[in-house]
A and B are shown apart, each in its own frame.
Chain A
Amino acid sequence: MTPVAVRSRRSVLLGAAAASALSRLPAARAAEAFSFGLTPLFLDNDIELLSMVERYLTRRLERPVALVKRRTYHEISAMLLSGQLDAAWICDDPYVQYQDKLALLAVPLYRNKPLYQSYVIVNESSNAQSFDDIRGTVHAFSDPDSTSGYLVTRWMLALRQTTPAHFFRDSFFTYGHRNVIRAVGAGLAQSGSIDGYVWEVMIDREPELVRRTRIVFKSEWLGFPPIVAPMVIRDVPVVKALAAALLDMPTDALGREILSVLALDGFTTGTPDMYESTKKKWLIVKAQV
């Protein structure tokens, strides 16, 4: 999912003394820009959306905001954990991996709930009707750090005592949920793992592309990818201001416009226990590896 982070020029070293960390806070140097990290979602090319987010946050935080994009989730996670970003919209998988080091700032509300599902899709011409029918296909994953685009499918295989290398004829990563739809729709892969929220939003925005795919499996409801900040700076005013800006988004005209583009209803505070299910899956997969 798409993380947003605020970056200071100097890294915030996780695990360092709070005082040391606080001394480097962006809030202490109002002139410095906040770095807000984003991982590729369906909006990976939506320059206008990025501009709106930047304008909204700059106004609310009263300082420049720099939006940072990288090709993979891992890059954003690493930058966040190494202090290169001050906040980020990350996937729930990296969140549960580093739950003790990351503080929840806000969780998006999709259809008024902070939840989403993982889908397994196939090409429209496929005869597959269930998850087990995709055995032997070429499978497109989204990202190794994506819950919906990798972890859930990996967990399903772990339950079956198998791995992608054995279950699928072949598999590859596309590093984007939209790319999974393209790969499956074009026939490059016969099946794919994808964020259900992305698939549902894209069916309205790119129906020709999405209709070439069909859902054969929907996971249970999982905690929506959150907006997080390093634990050590969670109480810094600017970080709190970021959380407030996100929570207040439905009350602001530009904020509502952003929510409309994202097809979200707003943000909620969220709690770590919302991600228990994701965490269990990660642990099971981790145990198998």
Chain B
Amino acid sequence: MPRLLRLPAWPLTLKVPLLVAALMIAVAVMISQIVLSRLVKDQETNLTLLANAYLDGLSAAVLPAVIRGDVWETFDALDRARGQYSGVKARYALVELPNGSVLAASDPANFPIHSAVPTELRSKFLKEDGLVINDEVGRAWLTRGLRTEGFSVGRILTEIDIASLLRVRSQVVLTLILANGGLALAFSLIGYFAVKHMLQPLGVLAGYVERVREGRVEPIPERYRKKVASEFGQLFDRFNAMARALSDRETLASHLAEQEKYAMLGRLASGMAHEVNNPLGGMMNAIDTLQSHSEDPEVLSKSLDFLKRGLAGIRNVVRAALVTYKGGSDTSLLTPTDLDDLPFLVQHETGVRRLRLNWRNHVTEPLAIDGPTVRQITLNLLLNACAASPFGGEVAVDASSTDGALRIAVSDEGPGLPDNVAALLSSAGQIAAPSRDSKGLGLWTTGNLIQRLNGVAAIERSDAGTRIVVTLPISSEGARHAA
């Protein structure tokens, strides 16, 4: 689901004004309902009062004429009543006799005298005295019985136009909508800017947190601290304290890693000396042979070949050491060669312990990842595997890149890592560095390097030995650049 479609993901600057607007609308609707309901009630009450006053006058005027059955007098009374009651806009009024016929109507063209009152029309009126209101058509129908000495002599039926009342209602509704809509909009805008202003310190904090993610740990300057509310001030203080601790830890880790690197160099130096020294004896013999039998072309060729191979071996060892400890590789790229010369650095370790190194490097092209750091991670794990392996065992390294990640698996036939030591590798960021004298500093350093590259390490144990799998993400932009 897109981020913006998830409500919890919406920014507060949007959510709070929307909430204000929603609340305003809810309140407005409720108030409007109350106002309208009251208005409707008042209008109906007023209409009833006016209608009753109208009918009181009308019935008093027509009653004598109705008793006499006087068509003209009845019409005259109904006709004169029109316009006399400004609050009642009668569309027509008629007098219905007990037999259902019209005695006279104010609109005789539609209701001729002595014609039957249409059934459809009669159905709109109440049988007894009262008022029927139909808002949809804007009409009200009034009924008033005419009685004398206890006998019914007819009734007045009149239709009232209440369009003006409905117009007032519409105007009130429109006014309510405009006023409440305007208020909701105004409060939403005020809410938006107020919340935006209040959340400004969060933006500052987010900016500095983002810098941490990018590797730059900086405290929030004091000038921001003075401008913000106390809650954000405390937050800034805590962030600054955290930033300082993080900075200290980074410095320490970096220092320890450097020290570890040189410590390892020391360990390797003797092995390298041995590796250099081994061919030297043979090479000296070859030189002696050359000096003695330089005329023999076959001896010359063999001796020179021997010398060349011996020197090539020494060159490989020296080059690998130089690359590892002097740097010089591009930190944004890992080339296949960065991994391929690692066996030269560990050949002393493997040779002493008669280990078989099963080296499989499937990386065939440059990858956008910090090459020297990957190289150090791999070397550390390889040395660790060599140290852990039993005499004559096998150590395997498998490097490959798939789905935007570099995967390096190092396995040995050793008894496996203790949990506390394994934790140094997989959770290096959360665990303090072990003391220099204790074991595991190399793995803790390796763990930190893996974390710096946003990678993860998994440790698999089996009867056959231990396998450590490191997965490191490859930068997509860098890959394109590298390609």
Q: Which residues of A are in contact with B by a Cβ distance under 8 Å?
A: 138, 140, 170, 172-175, 179, 182-183, 186-188
Q: CA of A180 to CA of B79 in the docked complex: distance in angstroms?
A: 14
Whether B104 lies near A188 (C-beta < 8 A) is yes
Residue of B with least CB distance to A186:
B108
Whether A179 lies near B113 (C-beta < 8 A) is no
Residues of A within 8 A of B76 (CB): 174, 179, 182
Q: In whole Å, how far is A191's beta carbon from the nearest beta carbon of chain B?
A: 13
Whether A187 lies near B108 (C-beta < 8 A) is yes
Q: In whole Å, how far is A55's beta carbon from the nearest beta carbon of chain B?
A: 30
Closest 6 CB pairs of A and B: A187-B109, A188-B108, A172-B71, A174-B72, A187-B108, A188-B75
Q: In the complex, which of the residues B72, B79, B108, B114 has the most CB atoms of chain A within 10 Å of its own CB atom?
A: B72
Residues of B within 8 A of A175 (CB): 72
Q: CA of A174 to CA of B65 in the docked complex: distance in angstroms?
A: 12
Whether B72 lies near A186 (C-beta < 8 A) is no
Q: In whole Å, how far is A279's beta carbon from the nearest beta carbon of chain B?
A: 28
Whether B75 lies near A183 (C-beta < 8 A) is yes
Q: Does B460 contact A (CB under 8 A)?
A: no
CB within 8 Å for A173 and B72 given contacts A182-B79, A186-B79, A188-B113? yes
Please name 25 pairs of A and B residues whose Cβ atoms are closer than 8 Å in the assembled complex, sorted by A: A138-B112, A138-B113, A140-B72, A170-B71, A170-B114, A172-B72, A172-B113, A173-B72, A174-B72, A174-B76, A179-B72, A179-B76, A182-B76, A183-B72, A186-B75, A186-B108, A186-B109, A187-B108, A187-B109, A187-B112, A188-B71, A188-B72, A188-B75, A188-B104, A188-B108
Whether B108 lies near A172 (C-beta < 8 A) is no
Q: CA of A184 to CA of B355 in the docked complex: distance in angstroms?
A: 132
Residues of B within 8 A of A188 (CB): 71-72, 75, 104, 108, 113
Residues of A within 8 A of B104 (CB): 188
Q: In whole Å, how far is A125's beta carbon from the nearest beta carbon of chain B?
A: 9
B207-250 at interface with A (beta carbon < 8 Å): none
Q: In whole Å, how far is B254's beta carbon from the nearest beta carbon of chain A?
A: 108
Residues of B within 8 A of A170 (CB): 71, 113-114
Q: Does B70 contact A (CB under 8 A)?
A: yes
Residue of B with least CB distance to A183:
B72
Q: CA of A186 to CA of B76 in the docked complex: distance in angstroms?
A: 11
Residue of A with least CB distance to B104:
A188
Residues of A within 8 A of B114 (CB): 170
Q: CA of A183 to CA of B109 in the docked complex: distance in angstroms?
A: 11
Residues of B within 8 A of A140 (CB): 72
Residue of B with least CB distance to A171:
B71
Q: CA of A186 to CA of B109 in the docked complex: distance in angstroms?
A: 7
Q: In the complex, which of the residues A138, A175, A183 has the most CB atoms of chain B within 10 Å of its own CB atom?
A: A183
Q: In whole Å, how far is A34's beta carbon from the nearest beta carbon of chain B?
A: 32
Q: In whole Å, how far is B64's beta carbon from the nearest beta carbon of chain A?
A: 12
Q: CA of A140 to CA of B112 in the docked complex: distance in angstroms?
A: 13
Mark interface residues in B44-69 (1 if CB within 8 Å of A CB, else 0).
00000000000000000000000000
Q: CA of A148 to CA of B379 in the docked complex: distance in angstroms?
A: 137
Residues of A within 8 A of B108 (CB): 186-188
Residue of B with least CB distance to A173:
B72
Q: CA of A64 to CA of B153 in the docked complex: distance in angstroms?
A: 46
Q: CA of A138 to CA of B79 in the docked complex: distance in angstroms?
A: 18
Q: CA of A172 to CA of B70 in the docked complex: distance in angstroms?
A: 8
Q: CA of A140 to CA of B76 in the docked complex: distance in angstroms?
A: 13
Q: In whole Å, how far is A173's beta carbon from the nearest beta carbon of chain B?
A: 7
Q: CA of A197 to CA of B112 in the docked complex: distance in angstroms?
A: 29
Q: In whole Å, how far is B423's beta carbon from the nearest beta carbon of chain A?
A: 107
Residues of B within 8 A of A186 (CB): 75, 79, 108-109
Q: CA of A173 to CA of B113 in the docked complex: distance in angstroms?
A: 14
Q: CA of A223 to CA of B169 in the docked complex: distance in angstroms?
A: 63
Q: In whole Å, how far is A72's beta carbon from the nearest beta carbon of chain B?
A: 12
Q: In the complex, which of the residues B79, B104, B113, B114 has the most CB atoms of chain A within 10 Å of its own CB atom?
A: B113
Q: In the complex, which of the residues B71, B76, B79, B114 has the most CB atoms of chain A within 10 Å of its own CB atom?
A: B71
Residues of B within 8 A of A187 (CB): 108-109, 112
Q: In whole Å, how far is A237's beta carbon from the nearest beta carbon of chain B?
A: 42
Q: In whole Å, how far is B115's beta carbon from the nearest beta carbon of chain A?
A: 10
Q: In whole Å, how far is B83's beta carbon from the nearest beta carbon of chain A?
A: 14
Known: A187-B112, A188-B75. 10 other contacts (CB 8 A): A140-B72, A170-B113, A170-B114, A172-B113, A183-B75, A186-B75, A186-B108, A187-B108, A188-B71, A188-B104
Q: CA of A183 to CA of B75 in the docked complex: distance in angstroms?
A: 8
Q: In the complex, which of the residues A173, A174, A182, A188 has the most CB atoms of chain B within 10 Å of its own CB atom?
A: A188
Residue of A with least CB distance to B106:
A186
B88-138 at interface with A (beta carbon < 8 Å): 104, 108-109, 112-114
Q: CA of A254 to CA of B109 in the docked complex: distance in angstroms?
A: 44
Mark interface residues in B74-85 (1 if CB within 8 Å of A CB, else 0).
011001000000
Q: CA of A188 to CA of B79 in the docked complex: distance in angstroms?
A: 11
Q: In whole Å, how far is A142's beta carbon from the nearest beta carbon of chain B?
A: 10
Q: CA of A186 to CA of B104 in the docked complex: distance in angstroms?
A: 12
Q: In whole Å, how far is B300's beta carbon from the nearest beta carbon of chain A?
A: 144
Residue of B with least CB distance to A138:
B113
Q: In whole Å, how far is A74's beta carbon from the nearest beta carbon of chain B?
A: 16
Q: In whole Å, how far is A4's beta carbon from the nearest beta carbon of chain B?
A: 25
Q: In whole Å, how far is A126's beta carbon from the nearest beta carbon of chain B?
A: 12
Residue of A with least CB distance to B114:
A170
Q: In whole Å, how far is B11's beta carbon from the nearest beta carbon of chain A?
A: 72
Residue of A with least CB distance to B76:
A179
Q: In whole Å, how far is B372's beta carbon from the nearest beta carbon of chain A?
A: 110
Residues of A within 8 A of B70 (CB): 172
Q: CA of A145 to CA of B242 in the docked complex: distance in angstroms?
A: 119
Q: CA of A173 to CA of B72 in the docked complex: distance in angstroms?
A: 7
Q: CA of A273 to CA of B108 in the docked complex: distance in angstroms?
A: 43
Q: In whole Å, how far is A185's beta carbon from the nearest beta carbon of chain B?
A: 10
Mark interface residues in B8-28 (1 if CB within 8 Å of A CB, else 0).
000000000000000000000
Residues of B within 8 A of A138 (CB): 112-113
Residues of A within 8 A of B75 (CB): 183, 186, 188
Q: CA of A215 to CA of B69 in the docked complex: distance in angstroms?
A: 28
Q: In whole Å, how far is A139's beta carbon from the nearest beta carbon of chain B?
A: 11
Residue of B with least CB distance to A175:
B72
Q: CA of A96 to CA of B263 in the docked complex: distance in angstroms?
A: 156
Residues of A within 8 A of B72 (CB): 140, 172-175, 179, 183, 188
Q: CA of A266 to CA of B78 in the docked complex: distance in angstroms?
A: 39
Mark interface residues in B138-152 (1 if CB within 8 Å of A CB, else 0).
000000000000000
Q: In whole Å, how far is A168's beta carbon from the nearest beta carbon of chain B?
A: 12
Residue of B with least CB distance to A123:
B109
Q: CA of A73 to CA of B425 in the docked complex: distance in angstroms?
A: 129
Q: CA of A179 to CA of B113 in the docked complex: distance in angstroms?
A: 16
Q: In whole Å, how far is B237's beta carbon from the nearest beta carbon of chain A?
A: 92
Residues of A within 8 A of B71 (CB): 170, 172, 188
Residues of B within 8 A of A183 (CB): 72, 75
Q: CA of A115 to CA of B108 in the docked complex: distance in angstroms?
A: 35
